[in-house]
Structure 1
Amino acid sequence: MSESVTGRPDNPDALQPIPALRGREREAAQTLFGERLPGAEKYVEHLCTTGITHGLLGPREVPRMWGRHVLNCAVVGNELPASGTVADVGSGAGLPGIAMALARPDVEFTLIEPMERRVDWLDTVIRDLGLDNVQVIRARAEDVADEVMADVVTARAVSALKKLIPMTVPLLDDHGQLIFLKGRTVQAEVDAAQKVLKRFRLRHPQIELVGQELLEEPTTIVRIRHR
C-alpha cells in the first residue's frame, strides 16, 4: 500500500490512458515477470482504472504506474526465498504483494488488509489474474499472529519502523526476515527504532538498493533479521 498516493480522485471519470511499456521498463518487466508479463499488464490495467475509482491510488500515479509502483515492488521478489511464504501487511492495492506474486509464482503470499473495500478489490483482481499463489485476509496484522507464520513479512508505506516492527514481528518465523520497501528517510526511521529493535531482539537493519541493474530508480529496502 502507498499512503502518499491514497485518496479518491476529485473526478473519478477523468481517467488517464493506461501507460504502455517501453524501453528499459519493458526490458525490466520481461525479465521480472517472464511468461506472466500479460498478467502484470492486466494488473496495471486494474490499477489504472478500478484502482483509481476505488480510491486505492491517486490519478496522478497513472503515468508512472509501471516504474514507481509495479516494477519497484516486483524487483523485490528476487530477494525472497525459493518456495517460501510471504505475509504482506497493509496490502492496499496489492503493492507489493500482487506485484511480487506475479514475479515469483513459486512463493505463497498472504495479503493482510483491514479495509473491506480494499479486500473486495484485491479478491476481484486476484481472481481475474488467475493467481493461485495468493490469498487475502481481512484483518489487522496484530489480529492474525496466531494464524499467520511467514518466512518473510513485507510492507510498503504502511508506517514508520518503530510502529511497523511491533505489528509485523509476530507474523515472522524464527528464522525469517522482515523486508520493508522504504524511501529516502529510511535512515532516520532506523535511528528512531533502536529501542524497538532491542525489545524484539532483532539485528541491526540493513539498508539496501535492489534492482540497480534493471530499474532507472532502484528500490530501497530495509532488511531485518532475528538475532
Structure 2
Amino acid sequence: MGLSQPGLAERLLAYLGLLAQWNRAYNLTAIRDPAEMVSRHLLDSLSIAPFVAGRVADIGTGAGLPGIPLAINDPHLRVSLAETAGKKARFLREAVRQLGLANVSVHACRAEDVPESGQHDQLIARALAPLDGILTLGGHLLRPGGRLLAMKGRVPTGEIAALPDGYRHLATHPLHVPGLDAERHLIIVEKTG
C-alpha cells in the first residue's frame, strides 16, 4: 500500500491487540478474527491515507476506524474522534493513552455536539450514513473549502445527485484493500458555502 514508516506495523498491531482484547468484553466490532481485522479494519482504514491531510474529524468512529490507524500512520494529522457509545469512547481514550497518540482527541458525544465547528480540513466517515446524512451530522465541522471523505462500497450515484446545497462532488476514487474482496470507493465532497 506504499506505507513504510518505521515502526508502523508494530504500532498498528498494538492497536489491533487492544481492539481484540476490549472486543471480548465490550463488543466493539462484529469481526472477531484478528486476521480478518487486519484487512477489514486496518487496511481498509489505511486505503484512504493518500487522501488524508491536516485537521480531520472522524465521526461515528466506533472503535476508532479509520481515525486511529490514520493517526498512527501520520503523526502530523490532527484527528478528532466522535463517538456517542460510552463503552466505545472509553476504549478510544484508553487506546489513545496506551498508544501515545498525542495527535488524537476523543469526543464522547454526537457529531452535532463536537465543539469544533469550522475547524476541520476534512470530515471522514466510514459506513455511517448516506452522504446527506453525514453532512447533516458533521458538515458544521468543516471549514469553507473543507472536504468530506466518505468511505463507501459501491458508488452511491443517487446520494451524490442528492447532495445538499453548499456542497459539491469533487471526485470518486476506487480503493484497493489487500485481502478484501469487496468493492470500495472514496467519495470526496467539498464544502462550498
Structure 1 and Structure 2 fold alike (TM over 0.5):
yes
- Once the two structures are TM-superposed, the CA of residue 127 in structure 1 deviates from its matched residue by 0.9
Partner in structure 2 of residue 125 of structure 1:
95
Match of 1:111, SS?
Answer: strand
- Once the two structures are TM-superposed, the CA of residue 146 in structure 1 deviates from its matched residue by 5.1
Identical columns (%): 28
Residues 4-45 of structure 1, C-alpha deviations (whole Å, 9 max, x = no match): xxxxxxxxxxxxxxxxxxxxxxxx4x8255423211011111
- Once the two structures are TM-superposed, the CA of residue 46 in structure 1 deviates from its matched residue by 1.6
Query: For residues 196-215 of structure 1, what are the structure 2 equivalents within 5 Å?
Result: 197-199=163-165, 201-204=166-169, 206-210=171-175, 212=176, 215=178
TM-score of the superposed pair, with normalisation by structure 2: 0.87
Partner in structure 1 of residue 160 of structure 2:
190
- Hey, what's the Cα distance between the residues in 1 that align with 2:185 and 2:6? 23
The two structures, once aligned, show a CA RMSD in angstroms of 2.2
Q: Please identify which structure carries the higher helix content.
A: 1
Residue 47 of structure 1 pairs with residue 19 of structure 2? yes
- Hey, what's the Cα distance between the residues in 2 that align with 1:146 and 1:43? 26
Query: How many pairs align?
Result: 190
Partner in structure 2 of residue 106 of structure 1:
76
Partner in structure 1 of residue 49 of structure 2:
77
Supply the AA of the counterpart residue of 1:202. Y
Task: Provide runs of 4+ in structure 1 moved above 6 Å.
Answer: none
Partner in structure 2 of residue 135 of structure 1:
105
Query: For residues 1-227 of structure 1, what are the structure 2 equivalents within 5 Å?
Result: 28=1, 31=3, 33-60=5-32, 62-81=34-53, 84-144=54-114, 147=117, 149-184=119-154, 186-191=156-161, 194=162, 197-199=163-165, 201-204=166-169, 206-210=171-175, 212=176, 215-217=178-180, 219-227=184-192
Residues 154-188 of structure 1, C-alpha deviations (whole Å, 9 max, x = no match): 01111122311211211101121000111126234
Q: Please identify which structure carries the higher strand content.
A: 2
Supply the AA of the counterpart residue of 1:39. R
- Hey, what's the Cα distance between the residues in 2 that align with 1:223 and 1:69? 20
- Hey, what's the Cα distance between the residues in 1 that align with 2:126 and 2:35? 20
Unaligned runs of 5+ in 2: none
